[in-house]
Structure 1
Amino acid sequence: MPSTTAPAALLTLYDREIRRDARPDGPDDVVERVGRVVRRTAPAHGWNGVVWSDFASGEEADQAIADQIAHYTSRGLAFEWKLYAHDEPADLGSRLLAHGFTPEPDETLMGAETDALALTATVPDGIRVVPVTDEAGVDQVAAVHERAFGDDASRLRRRLLDTLTTTPDTVAAVLALAGDVPVSAARMELTPGTSFAGLWGGGTVPEWRGRGIYRALVTHRARIAAARGYRVLHVDAGPRSRPILQRLGFTPLTVTTPYVYEPSL
């Protein structure tokens, strides 16, 4: 079922509520608007970076880029400049490269209104979905993440545990179990005071892929979001998840590229 709101309108709402008016993720996060930049500063295991910018000229962009590098490196922090395809100036990506940022793979920002989604996916036979509420569950999420994505999940583990401890109403994490063995995990970040809930980290271990578990976890989280009054879901989709999400009713809104800056040792 298609969204009832045009993609351009959803993107405008996303830019305003999630980017320009960004809120702290937790008690140790600081969100600041500095000139034409909105940035988040967190502990080293948190997410640090620029979530929104809007420059009138290339010169203004270059100065702001240099200022953000100085801000984060003075604290010994790596950070991300999350660039969206419609951000200005049009050559902002090239300017970030010139300042020493490294681009990561593009992702498609997708959105859907919860009441327009096809929430008919069922949990596959032999699988049960359980909420993550404690440290043991977080450890299982981290283990699934490492097997599914092949990268270190220690920072994810600390962030998720911090959130569950301090602001549990802003996250919903779930595990898919085959018997007692975790085979898939995902989380949803709920942004109070906005229309949006974000889907993150959906991953299934290789031997359990292709059985509909990812789709079932998307549906499970969408139902939670709707029950809590969140009108719109957003997700940064890779090439494997994008067609699944489109079949569920998600619409591509734009392309986003993470540009990462690592401080010199």
Structure 2
Amino acid sequence: MDNAAVLALFDRDMREGARPDGPGARVERVGAVVRRTAPGHGWNGILWSALTAADADAVIAEQIAYFTELGRKFEWKLYGHDLPADLGQRLVAAGFTPEPEETLMAGESAALTLGAGPPEGVRLVPVTDRAGVDLVAGVHERAFGADASWLRGQLLDQLADFPGTVVAVLALAGDEPVSAARLEMAPGARFAGLWGGGTVPGRRGRGIYRALVAHRARVAADRGYRYLQVDASDRSRPILERLGFTPLTTTTPYLYAPVR
């Protein structure tokens, strides 16, 4: 895989050329940025930018003013190759809080190693209704130690209004939910995204996450997506590399909460 070419394609498809992919979502290019706004539980933030040292601070201030007027928290999703090189420092100076850095990884669906099934005693089941969504949210809270009310609302909205854009799956050990993950598929894009793969403490290191990756990869390939992409933590990166994913760059969420 030509990593530089795939990264450039990712920038064009999923960032600069992003499409609305959820209930009420709007994607618009405003000057040197592409931003997404969405009501309710939807994600709000900056997907792409083409800034210089001369205009970066002014553009950052414009976006803060825009989202503050809407009364919404938002994220500036910064990638390692974005310019200017000190954009992260500028965001912090403007009041953003950085989250942990992750690695943007990608792989060609046809070239990935997808033979992994779940370990003995674990089965994968699709999520199609509110009861399943509640189980996914519960796994997320146990796996990541964070509130998942936003995920519950987002998944319910997607399954109701945009069912073709998301596949959610649970891993059950007996009747106990032990892991969960999502596959998001933007219409017309060449990349499908792997999100939320989390396994509860006490069940990690047994191949459940790997099986969820392989399952979603097969679904994406069957639906014609050439590439898979994932923002990988340090814990998941080695597993993804063994499956055939390649690191492309880093990505860091910078979060801004308007002062009320």
TM norm structure 2: 0.99
Q: Does 1:11 align with 2:18?
A: no
Aligned match of 1:251 in 224, 229, 246? 246
Structure 1 unaligned regions, length at least 5: none
Per the alignment, residue 32 of structure 1 pairs with 28
Alpha-carbon RMSD across the aligned residues, in angstroms, is 0.7
Kindly report which structure 2 residues correspond to 1:48-87, keeping only aligned pairs within 5 A, or say none.
Answer: 48-55=44-51, 57-87=52-82
- Corresponding residue SS for 2:55: helix
Aligned match of 2:43 in 38, 42, 47? 47
What letter corresponds to residue 102 of structure 1 in structure 2?
T
Kindly report which structure 2 residues correspond to 1:102-251, keeping only aligned pairs within 5 A, or say none.
Answer: 102-251=97-246
What letter corresponds to residue 248 of structure 1 in structure 2?
L
State the identity as a percent.
68
Write the deviation string for residues 110-168 of structure 1: whole angstroms up to 9, x where unpaired: 00000010111121100110000000000000000000000000001100110000010
What letter corresponds to residue 114 of structure 1 in structure 2?
S
Which of 38-47 and 124-133 deviates more? 38-47
User: How many pairs align?
Assistant: 260
- Checking the alignment, whether the CA contact within 8 Å between 1:111 and 1:253 is kept in structure 2 is yes
- CA–CA separation in structure 2 for the residues paired with 1:151 and 1:229: 34
Over 6 Å off, 4+ runs: none
What letter corresponds to residue 5 of structure 2 in structure 1?
A
What letter corresponds to residue 183 of structure 2 in structure 1?
M
Write the deviation string for residues 204-246 of structure 1: whole angstroms up to 9, x where unpaired: 0001111100000000000000000011000000010000000
What letter corresponds to residue 65 of structure 2 in structure 1?
A
Structure 2 unaligned regions, length at least 5: none
What letter corresponds to residue 28 of structure 2 in structure 1?
E
- CA–CA separation in structure 1 for the residues paired with 2:194 and 2:143: 16
